[in-house]
Amino acid sequence: MSKCILIVDDEEDVRAIAQMGLEMSVNWTVLSASSGQEALAIATNNQPDVILLDMMMPDMDGRATLQQLKANPLTRRIPVILVTAKIQPLDQESFAELDIAAVFVKPFRPLKLAEQISSALENIAVES
């Protein structure tokens, strides 16, 4: 089944690599946003199946974007996977408190991305 995924990252090359990896390995529709504000609008209007959200972005970071997504009745049920370049033990504890499907660490392997996303979505389906 084809999915729609929203990739949110302020770095154009990261969005392009993720999109290319997903398009080469699975036939998913890929939307992209370069900021948290843009992501909120796209998520509301397009209702993607999952959002891949970068933690470190200027203006509205991943945590603030996630809070806005979860506060909106139209986007609160969309699974969110956080993507971060830095993950410390303290971060893992704070991520555990968030309503997220998974945390992926950069750099990720583009051709493995669809498999990782599918696995994360299966895990939340089992928990529900």
Q: What's the pLDDT at 93?
A: 57
Give average pLDDT by consecutive 10-residue segment, the chain, 128 residues: 91 94 88 97 97 93 94 96 74 68 88 93 75
Q: Give the domain extent around 112.
A: 4-127
pLDDT of residue 1: 61
Residue 128 pLDDT: 54
> For residue 29, with 0-12 CB atoms within 10 Å meaning exposed, 13-18 middle and 19 or more buried, which class applies?
middle
Distance between CA atoms of 125 and 128, rounded to whole angstroms?
Answer: 5
Please give the tally of structural domains in the chain.
1
pTM (2 decimals)? 0.91
How high is the pLDDT of residue 94?
62
The Cα–Cα gap between 44 and 95 comes to 24
In this predicted structure, what is the pLDDT of residue 51? 97
User: Which ranges of 1-128 does DSSP label H, i.e. alpha helix?
Assistant: 12-25, 36-46, 62-71, 89-96, 113-127
Residue 24's pLDDT is what?
Answer: 85
Q: How confident is the model at residue 123, as a pLDDT?
A: 82
Q: What is the pLDDT of residue 82?
A: 92
| CATH label of the domain that carries residue 113 | 3.40.50.2300
